[in-house]
Structure 1
Amino acid sequence: MDTIASLFSFITTPVSWVIVQFHKVYGAIFGPDTGWAWGLSIVSLVVLIRICLIPLFVKQIKSTRNMQALQPKMKAIQERYKSDKQRQSEEMMKLYKETGTNPLSSCLPILAQSPFFFALYHVLSSIASGKEIGVIDGPLLASARQAHIFGAPLASKFTDTAAEVAALDASLTSVRIVTAVMIVMMSASQFFTQRQLMMKNVDLSVKTPYMQQQKMLMYIFPVIFAVMGINFPVGVLVYWLTTNVWTMGQQMYVINQNPTPGSKAQDAYLGRLLKSVTHHGEVKGRRRKSVVKVIVAKGGDRNENERRFFTGLSKAGFAAQADGTVIKSDTIVAETESGAAAKRQQPKRQTKAQRQAAAAQQAVTKDAEEGSEPAAEQATTSLEKKPQGSAKADAEVETKDEAKDQAQGDKPARPRANSGGSRQGKSGQRKGQQRPKHPSSKK
């Protein structure tokens, strides 16, 4: 570790100068020789470095999302040119160029932060050994060696011997307890950061090996930092714990405010946005309008979360516009409600007998409501009350029709109806109208 730290010795002077400047501020509040003054100086150094790395963090987020989206295409290229590694590399570079993706962007924050980490490690190691470094001269060196955080000197390590710890005016038990607690907190924050990234901010619709790799790293990284942590001075543990907590908070903010499309975090974000639009009747905030604008521009390429969001807007009576705003639309509400009602009120398919029975029942009900008798009862009543004169006139008309048919010679005479008005067949013969015999046939 000393060899690696010496490679970044060119930055030790700027790092030591920043620490001293913060120490002057906090020393005036808590005292120049206290652990709070030196500890908060290290924390402030972390915050300053991470603020400067925010643009790189934004690029890391975009690169990570682009890499997740490109995994299926990358896998297809690998399978297609698995026997030609050169062509495979060329197609990969072409894909990166077309999509504007840089695979190294996801590592930029770590790469940019590593020189500061090793420079700080070199500064604290020099303080532990009593060597001046950078702008930390004799008085500042003595003050830093006397600074303790919860009884543990800034330059002490978990692996230090009792004599080395005693030289820093501390007990071995206090040093190991403080360092062990900080190592556990550092590993736990690293694990939680990776876990919330995998559980909430990953597109669940895309299943790629990249997800499995991230899942493995979620368990491997905390173990690596725990093993390395026993060789870190307390000041470096303060630095690394602070940067892990910053990363965790930064990741939580990104997940809540700018989630990955298709992830659980996006579903939760759009749910909150829908609730806000329903309550206020408009999209509040420029960033939220830009989100709605992007979703509208996607058209048919929206994922399940975005389609569910638009369905909720329609049910609430709103329509999203191309500029990210929403308008109230009563037509959408009416169409949605009528469509839902029509879908709920679809009748079951009935048989022909059931439809005929229902029609007959409706006819009877209609007659009863109008106060008239049913058609069958009216026919029976009219037959029963029919006068004899009218019956005789009907018989005469029927006889004239039969004579007319016989005169034409085309049709035989019709059988006469009985007085009851109904036709009955003879015994042993088929009921109903009989087929006429040919005139030349014998009886």
Structure 2
Amino acid sequence: MDIFGIILWPLRWVIELILVGAHSGLTALGLDFNSGWTWILSILVLVLVVRTAMIPLMLRQIKSMRGMMELQPELKKIQTKYKGKRDQFSQQAMQQEMMALYKRHGSSPLASCWPMLIQMPIFFALFQVLNAANRHEAGVGLMNAELAMSFSNGDIFGARLSDTLSTNGDNPAVVAVAITIIVLMVVSQFFTQFQITAQNVSQAAKESPMYRQQKMMMYVLPLIMAVTGVMFPIGVMSYWMMSNLWTMGQQWWTIRNMPTPGSEAAKKREERLRASGKWDTHPDNPANRKDADGNPIAQKPTGQREQPMSKTRAKKKKKKGGK
């Protein structure tokens, strides 16, 4: 076993545990042991388990992406401050100021990548499970030779879960199923990115370079999925597609209920709350915000400037108020 296989071994064991456990439960309910649909439902259980465990990380990713876009104007000021200064001291000072800014806003350039980085080993581990099953070999855990053969030969609409479009392109069933799954993968990925760039970005953030990069990713990621989908087995693409659909739904719920302040989604949420009569008492309304002790935060009258006060006058006012 190579180093890559050694690293993925624990993941393969967990994936086989979930797949075999779900398959056993489904067959106990009366589903066909060798049916590809039984294995597809088992993969769906795998998606539900993995994505449920990743909900805290996904929320952190959304918060970080939102924060990164909102602090772009401040980042631009720091970059302008050190523009043209290439010496080591200036570059180090710029990096320190940027890191302090990230820390102050609770954001990180890498936080938005963690969910995808965590899922990639799962894709590769599932790919190895399918490859072993395709050779009718037992897995590293609960996937014995009989289950491996059943998993590999299980088919949906005439296409086996181990088939790929690149090697089984002469089979019309494989072509139809694979292309359908790829289209669903691409559309769901595009719509997920579209929700962020079109609905959940404030006007100030839209003027930042990061927003332009985000819009570019909206087209690049689906293209990558379309190209790589040709090489992946139908079973792996099924996991990818269902995971994308989960992300799309989760993103829609998050943007609808926790939009970025100043974004189009935030305006629509305010309109919904006003229409239902809930906005006046909603905590998002500045007039209803409270401090850590639950006391209302006094709002300064608009258009009225607080007059400067000398130290002597301030002390007299304080004594007068204490009597």
TM-score of the two chains, using structure 2 as the length reference: 0.82
Q: Distance in 2 between matches of 1:5 and 1:235?
A: 19
Distance 2:62 2:157 in 1: 37
CA distance in 1: counterparts of 2:102 and 2:6, whole angstroms: 36
1:16 alignment counterpart: 16
3-state secondary structure, aligned to 2:276: helix
CA offsets per residue over residues 396-427 of structure 1, 9 Å max, x none? xxxxxxxxxxxxxxxxxxxxxxxxxxxxxxxx
Partner of 1:236: 236
Which residue of structure 1 lines up, in the alignment, with residue 27 of structure 2? 27
1:259–1:265 contact (8 Å) kept in structure 2: yes
Match in the other structure for 1:274: 274
Matched residue SS, 1:103: coil
> CA offsets, 1:256-308, max 9 Å, x none?
11111111111111001001117xx974xxxxx3333x67449xxxxxxxxxx
Q: Which amino acid aligns with 1:137?
A: N
Q: Percent sequence identity over matched residues?
A: 38
**Does residue 1:46 correspond to 2:61, yes or no?**
no
| CA distance, structure 2, for counterparts of residue 100 and residue 218 of structure 1 | 25
CA distance in 2, matches of 1:23, 1:31: 10
RMSD over aligned Cα atoms: 2.3
One-letter amino acid of the structure 2 residue matched with residue 186 of structure 1: M
Call closer, same or farther: CA 1:92–1:190 in 2, change over 3 Å: same
Give 3-state SS (helix, strand or coil) of 1:290's partner: coil
Describe how 1:100-111 pairs up with structure 2 within 5 A: 100-111=106-117
Corresponding residue for 2:105?
A: 99
Which residue is 1:56 aligned to?
57
Q: Which residue number corresponds to residue 199 of structure 2?
A: 200
How far apart in 1 are the matches of 2:96 and 2:204? 28
* Amino acid corresponding to residue 102 of structure 1 in structure 2: S
Query: Any conservation in 2 of the 1:5–1:118 contact (CA below 8 Å)?
Result: no
The reply on whether 1:190 has 2:189 as its aligned counterpart is yes
Larger Rg computed on CA atoms: 1
Where does structure 1 lack aligned partners over 5 or more consecutive residues? Answer: 163-170, 284-288, 299-320, 324-443
Q: Which residue of 1 aligns with 2:284?
A: 291
2:262 alignment partner, SS class: coil
Query: Match for 2:171: what amino acid?
Result: L
What is the CA distance between 1:101 and its match in structure 2?
A: 2.2
- Aligned residues between the structures: 284
Q: TM-score, normalised by structure 1?
A: 0.60
Alpha-carbon separation, structure 2, partners of 1:136 and 1:268: 49
1:133 is paired with a residue of what secondary structure?
A: coil
2:167 to 146, 160, 171: 160
Distance 1:100 1:188 in 2: 31
Taking the TM superposition and a 5 Å limit, the aligned residue runs for 1:77-96 are: 77-82=78-83, 83=85, 84-96=90-102
Distance 1:6 1:120 in 2: 14
**Secondary structure at 1:155's aligned position in 2?**
coil
Q: Distance in 2 between matches of 1:222 and 1:101?
A: 26
1:41 offset after TM fit, Å? 0.3
Which residue is 1:259 aligned to?
Answer: 259
Summarize deviations over 1:280-339 as a string: whole Å, max 9, x none.
x974xxxxx3333x67449xxxxxxxxxxxxxxxxxxxxxx949xxxxxxxxxxxxxxxx
Partners in 2 of 1:70 and 1:5 — Cα distance? 41
1:37 aligns with 2:38: yes
| Residue aligning to 1:334 | none
In 1: Cα distance, 2:5 partner to 2:47 partner: 18
Q: Contact 1:4 / 1:118 at 8 angstroms: preserved in 2?
A: no
Relative to 1, partners in 2 of residues 1:112 and 1:87: Cα closer, same or farther, differing over 3 Å? same
Q: Which residue of 1 aligns with 2:307?
A: none
Deviation, structure 1 residue 218: 0.3
Question: Per-residue CA shift, 1:235-259, capped at 9, x if unaligned?
Answer: 0011000000000000110111111
Letter in 1 for 2:21: Q
Are residue 67 (structure 1) and residue 68 (structure 2) matched? yes
